[in-house]
Amino acid sequence: MNDYRTKDKVINFAFVFPALLIFSIFYLYPFFYSFILSLHRSDGIFTYDFVGLAHFRDIFQDKAWWRSLYNGGYITFWALTFQNILAFSLALGVDRAIKTGKIYRVIFFILPVLSEIIIGLLMRTILLSEPGILNQWLDKIGFGFMIQDWLGKEHVLLTTSLVHCWKGFGWAFIILLAGLQTIPEQLYEAARIDGANYIQRFSKITLPLLMPVVSMVIVLTLLGTMQAFAMILALTRGSGRLTEVPVMIIYNHLRGNQVGLACAEGIILGFILVLISFSMFAFSKWVKEKS
Amino acid sequence: MIIKPKKLIGLILLHTFLISVALSCICPLFWMINASFKTNEEFRNDYGLELAHEFNGDNYKRAIFDGGLGTYFLNSVFYTFITVFFIVIFSSLAAFAFSRLQFPGKNIIFFIFLTAMMIPLPAGFVPVYILLNKLHLANRIGYVMAMTNMGLSLSIYLLKTFFDQLPRDLEDAARIDGCSKLRIWWHVGMPLVAPALAVVIIVNSLTVWNEFVLASLMFTNAKLMPVQVGLMEFYNKNVIDHTLLMASLAIAALPIVTIYIIMQKHIIKGITAGAMVG
């Protein structure tokens, strides 16, 4: 039984080969290819002219691009604060205290499972001022003063952010809950016997032990929200530039056959995201070492 | 058991909070189903806020047969089934090798798969789309192959870690009996990792069923569109027919919700594991 004969090595490698082949064609090659494309003005099929870093220069001067980064950042701000705090409080509530936790868990996670298009189109139908389902409903239950043009100019970005949070909180909830349930019950018992109250137990046990999960949820929320696209497309179509997000610009440039430009934008966005997530990880590591 | 009044108030407040959030999740979906059974006249009177008088399946019939939702739906079933099949075969073969077999470059290759999972490629669909066009694969085959790639890394990781935890006794016994590696993978390995395979199958089915961006770029022919792309087309054609639209959304949501309710344990496990990698 000599595992290291050449024939064995070849056979063993054959097990990985199909996966590696698909992966090389559809991940590795496109990854490097997009750097090359970004330096060319190309429609992807016929024309292919070298323009150097011109696309990158154009992007930095493109107001629409900055606006889309602002929009993405705005939605991300709400996702990081509102969505994650909501998810965290729900997870704390469902964690151990109650027996019906399972039912809540099933219900909260139903929205993340549904597709972005379904959620986007459903909320579009409900929120559009014609026929104005939400407004009708608010009127019926006596909240007439809240009636708005939800997808109108003034509110559309905030509405989009809130719909995004509404679709996503269940996901953060599930992960935070899984993190909470890894904390051993005995720690809480011991603290209770020592006379620690709820706030003390939360700040001395729950929070420090959950920190790795929390920072992971923060990073994934950041990455996920900055790349959000399909739900926003279905909900608002971009509303002019008002809810246009970076990936929407990239998508539209690709459809408009500005392939090189789309690649350059993708690289810039990817670079920003990698930078943010790495500095987040470095920061949480630093915090951990300090304490 | 006696509950202290202070604790009781706390519990009531907690449940009020949880129930109101839960209602915010369910009500729009319930409204969608309810509206889908209404006629447009009925809808115009109550905006779908009152219970439907009868289960009127007309909207479903119109969406499926006249609106093309039936075709979109079957396309999605096809793409999902084929893609998940390839993911299961390719990723389990690779995971088996990464866990059990020796070959040069093993650790580096596994590391590359892992890194791919962590580096965000926000516009990964751009070069993939260009590449498929160049290879004349902007069709069903190309789409299935690209989607297979999207599920590979996470699936390999899940299955490999599961293989690592399993004892090797059974495989050793099979090898001593003269079983080839391929047969060990299929007859011994696959049954042993069945729980992890369930997670892989379900999580990937959800991803493929819900995928929109690449499909919307690749399929301009309505006959090939999966349901997510079809829904956008369908919406644009029937903007004012709200009850019909709700029926179409319900059709697209139905398989997902059904599978979710039956398999929610596996789904939650997969999502959590996927997040923990990062």
Element (H, E) at A50: strand A48-50
The parent domain of residue A92 ranges over 61-290
* B232 within domain boundaries: yes
The full DSSP string for chain B is: -PPPHHHHHHHHHHHHHHHHHHHHHHHHHHHHHHHHTS-HHHHHHHTT-S--SS--THHHHIIIIISSHHHHHHHHHHHHHHHHHHHHHHHHHHHHHHHH---TTHHHHHHHHHHHHHS--TTTHHHHHHHHHHTT--SHHHHHHHHHHHHHHHHHHHHHHHHHHS-SHHHHHHHHTT--HHHIIIIIIHHHTHHHHHHHHHHHHHHHHH--HHHHHH--STTT--HHHHHHHHHHH-TT-HHHHHHHHHHHHHHHHHHHHHHHHHHHHHHHHHHHH-
Closest in A114, A123, A254 to B253, CB measured: A114
Summarised one tens digit per residue, pLDDT across range A47-102 is 778 888 989 999 999 999 999 999 999 999 999 999 999 999 999 988 866 677 78
* A34 within domain boundaries: no
* Calpha distance A282→B276 (Å, rounded): 17
Taking contacts as CB-CB distances below 8 angstroms, the residues of chain A near B218 are: none
* Calpha distance A32→A179 (Å, rounded): 36
* B115 within domain boundaries: yes
At residue B248 the predicted structure's pLDDT band, cuts being 50, 70 and 90, is very high
User: Tell me, what's the pLDDT at A142?
Assistant: 84
CATH number, domain containing residue A67: 1.10.3720.10
* B174 within domain boundaries: yes
User: Tell me, what's the pLDDT at B60?
Assistant: 93
* A191 within domain boundaries: yes
* Calpha distance B248→B29 (Å, rounded): 13
* A286 within domain boundaries: yes
Please tell me the total count of domains within chain B: 1
> Is there a contact between A115 and B246 if contact means CB atoms under 8 Å apart?
no
Average pLDDT value for residue range B5-18: 86
Which range is least confidently modeled, A82-86, A165-169, B8-12, B105-109?
B8-12
Indicate the pTM of the whole model. Answer: 0.91
User: Tell me, what's the pLDDT at B25?
Assistant: 93
Please tell me the total count of domains within chain A: 1
CATH number, domain containing residue B99: 1.10.3720.10
Whether A150 and chain B come into contact, CB under 8 Å, resolves to no
User: Tell me, what's the pLDDT at A146?
Assistant: 84
* A264 within domain boundaries: yes
At residue B43 the predicted structure's pLDDT band, cuts being 50, 70 and 90, is confident
Average pLDDT value for residue range B91-117: 91
* A210 within domain boundaries: yes
Across chain A, which has 291 residues, the per-10-residue mean pLDDT values are 70 93 92 90 79 90 94 96 95 78 88 94 90 85 84 91 95 92 88 87 88 90 92 88 93 91 94 90 82 70
* B191 within domain boundaries: yes
User: Tell me, what's the pLDDT at B246?
Assistant: 93
The parent domain of residue B165 ranges over 67-277
Average pLDDT value for residue range B99-105: 89
* B234 within domain boundaries: yes
Position B218 pLDDT exceeds 60: yes
* Closest-approach residue (CA) in chain B for A10: B103
* Closest-approach residue (CA) in chain B for A93: B14
At residue B1 the predicted structure's pLDDT band, cuts being 50, 70 and 90, is low
Whether A173 and chain B come into contact, CB under 8 Å, resolves to no
Mean pLDDT of chain B: 89
